[in-house]
Amino acid sequence: MQAQDLAALLPKVSRLAEAAGQAILPIYRQEQLQVRAKADASPLTEADLASHHLILQGLQELTPGIPVLSEESGGIPYPERQQWERFWLVDPLDGTREFIEGSGQFTVNIALVEVGIPILGAVHAPALGLTYKAAQKLGAYKGDERIWARPPAQAPWQVVASRSHRDWETEQFLERLRRRHGSLEVQPVGSALKFCLVAEGSAHLYPRFGPTMEWDTAAAQCLVEQAGGSVTDLAGDPLRYNKPDLHNPPFVAAAEGMAQLWQNLIP
């Protein structure tokens, strides 16, 4: 897709993510949330579905020829998906546990993927009133302000980690990082906001060794990459999308120039 097409799409997709956020907020503010478990035991709320349906309709109106893969429609078989050169990849409510707990650290994620590469991304945090957006060759933005993945070079290193999904591998990685480079400040953050902090230069690294899905990361990966950072597997290869298995491998999101900070710490 040409840069001028992405430039025309980006504000419209950002507004769509914000509209989904407006549909989520009244449900978030209810005293009693209705929560049920999906087949994989992860939580599902009325807000997930309201956001999903609004985004699905909006994208179908905006780009009727481009298919949509959402967390809430993730059962599309690979033989069908395999034919897609370009598609929308959506997480209608990333950070459902944070949503349920009332932390405000949940997001709406919309990405456009072309030949496995996220070329446009919008991440909106409704409860925080924040919107991040990026597109290939157009840069990354927090609201209307251009952002860069360029944190201060001096220690202590700023690391963001999952608020709800910390695991042994992450703790071991952080300990190796601490022994090699000295003091760390580790901030627990929910949802795709961890990537956003790397993209805006507030954090050096976001390591993730626990399970994630493609819709969790695509929009935010575009943000980090267009801000000058990287999101790679442990071999240093960028995450790619529309795989037969929609699970991501373990990965690290790193600010500009920070890849060497962590790659020699992997056993």
Domain boundaries, the chain: 3-146, 157-263
What is the arithmetic mean of pLDDT over 139-157? 91
C-alpha angle with apex 226: 213 to 54, nearest 5 degrees?
Answer: 50
Indicate if the pLDDT at residue 163 is higher than 60. Answer: yes
Tallying the residues shown for the chain, one arrives at 267
- pLDDT tens digit sequence for 42-57: 555 788 889 999 999 9
- pLDDT tens digit sequence for 218-263: 999 999 999 999 999 999 999 999 999 999 999 999 999 888 778 7
Using DSSP, state whether 168 is helix, strand or coil.
helix
pLDDT value at residue 41: 47
Whether residue 208 contacts residue 170, with contact meaning beta carbons closer than 8 Å, is answered with yes
Return the CATH class of domain 3-146. alpha beta
Indicate if the pLDDT at residue 36 is higher than 80. Answer: no
Give me 134's structure tokens. 């990026």
Whether residue 55 contacts residue 72, with contact meaning beta carbons closer than 8 Å, is answered with no
Indicate if the pLDDT at residue 33 is higher than 70. Answer: no
- pLDDT tens digit sequence for 201-224: 999 999 999 999 999 999 999 999
The CATH code of the domain at 157-263 is 3.40.190.80
Distance CA 212, CA 43 (A): 15
What is the distance in angstroms between the CA of the first residue and the CA of the last residue of the chain? 39
